[in-house]
Amino acid sequence: MNRLKTLTLAVAATALAASTLTAQARDFRLGLITPPQHMWSTEAEAFADSLHERSDGEHSVSVFPAQQLGNEAQMVQQLQTGALDMAFLTIAEISNRIPDFGALYAPYLVDGVDHAARLLRSDTAAELLELMPAEVGLVGVGYGMVGMRQVLSRDPIESMDDMRGQRLRITPFEPIRDFYTATGAAPAPMPLLEVYDALANGQVDAIDMDFDSILILKFYEQANNLLISNHMMFPMVGVVSGRVWRELSAEDRELIETTMAEHLENVLTGFQEMDAAQEEEIRGLDLNIVEADAEFFSEAIVEWEATWAEKAPMLEALREEAERLRQ
């Protein structure tokens, strides 16, 4: 080895040692709205364990599930100021702030959970994440999801006519609100953890929900008609505060990014793996089940497209990608 190379290596080693010495041990805070038993929450805990282990005990992550730190709008604000370090967020709040994300909720963009996961792993979906630092000050590390959306209702829904005037709970965001308004229903925005009581006390007649939450939060106890419609996918995004990101060393960024991405991938595969069994379990409950497809909602879809093709220019590219990934 020549002298110059040895010297360069020695300087590099000293720099590395110095940066390790000055690297700050951190206890990051990660917030999410889902209850502790939801897979987003259990994978957030698993991410915390992995990061602790891979940083040789230097970094830890405290996970705050069940909206302990506030709703998603409040968490996004905290992420922007750096008061919160990380979160697993539905795309709902993000799509309210970056309309292009609304394209992910195009009705029947995907055929089911496998197709949804393929689309979320694509470069086109990754392009959306690139918009986040400049537009909301968050670093979007990758996607997770839950299962496809269904409609659970007190009264049977056999055609779109039956939806007219129904007070129907939605996650609070615009693309889904526009879809249900177009069906003739009266959308009632409400966070996940308020849904059970709202159904129980008659505040809403129906809810937009996924199989997993219908089961784990026992919504079927309060409404026994299920429209298996698979009408939209429901992505999640793992984020780090842009402010916090800027303070991190390149090494820590890399560690956080790869570790979080791995656990988000576990969420995608987890929901892919659970879907069929959950559908079977739900079909085994004492529910009146009706199935729906794009034809069922055709007029509402035309109306939705008219608004969102303009609001979310990424819709076209996502559709093309979804078409390529259709199997």
Interface residues toward ligand 3HB, by CB under 6 A: 34, 90, 146, 171, 192, 209-210, 212-213
CB of 172 to ligand 3HB, least distance (A): 8
**What are the structure tokens assigned to 13, written together?**
């080693």
Cα(148)–Cα(212) distance, integer angstroms:
9
CB of 235 to ligand 3HB, least distance (A): 10
The answer to whether the beta carbons of residues 4 and 235 sit under 8 Å apart is: no
- As a dihedral over the C-alpha atoms of residue 269, residue 271, residue 277, residue 279, rounded to 10 degrees, the angle is -140
Residue nearest to ligand 3HB (CB): 171
Pick from 199, 188, 203: which is nearest to 223 by CA? 199
CB of 251 to ligand 3HB, least distance (A): 32
Pick from 314, 271, 303, 250: which is nearest to 103 by CA? 314
Q: Tell me which H or E stretch contains 14.
A: helix 3-22
* Closer by beta carbon to ligand 3HB, 32 or else 106: 32
What beta strand segments (E) does the chain contain?
A: 27-31, 60-64, 86-90, 138-146, 149-153, 167-170, 186-189, 206-210, 225-228, 234-241, 288-291
CB of 89 to ligand 3HB, least distance (A): 9
* Closer by beta carbon to ligand 3HB, 199 or else 325: 199
CB of 56 to ligand 3HB, least distance (A): 33
Task: State phi, psi for 144 to the nearest 5 degrees.
Answer: -120, -165
* Closer by beta carbon to ligand 3HB, 162 or else 210: 210
- As a dihedral over the C-alpha atoms of residue 40, residue 190, residue 209, residue 86, rounded to 10 degrees, the angle is -20
Helices 298-311 and 314-324 meet at what angle, rounded to 10?
120
CB of 40 to ligand 3HB, least distance (A): 6
* Closer by beta carbon to ligand 3HB, 26 or else 238: 238
Cα(238)–Cα(264) distance, integer angstroms:
7
* Closer by beta carbon to ligand 3HB, 42 or else 124: 42
CB of 92 to ligand 3HB, least distance (A): 7
CB of 267 to ligand 3HB, least distance (A): 11
* Closer by beta carbon to ligand 3HB, 211 or else 304: 211
* Closer by beta carbon to ligand 3HB, 34 or else 259: 34
DSSP-assigned letters across all residues of 241-304: EHHHHHHS-HHHHHHHHHHHHHHHHHHHHHHHHHHHHHHHHHHTSS-EEEE--TTTTHHHHHHH
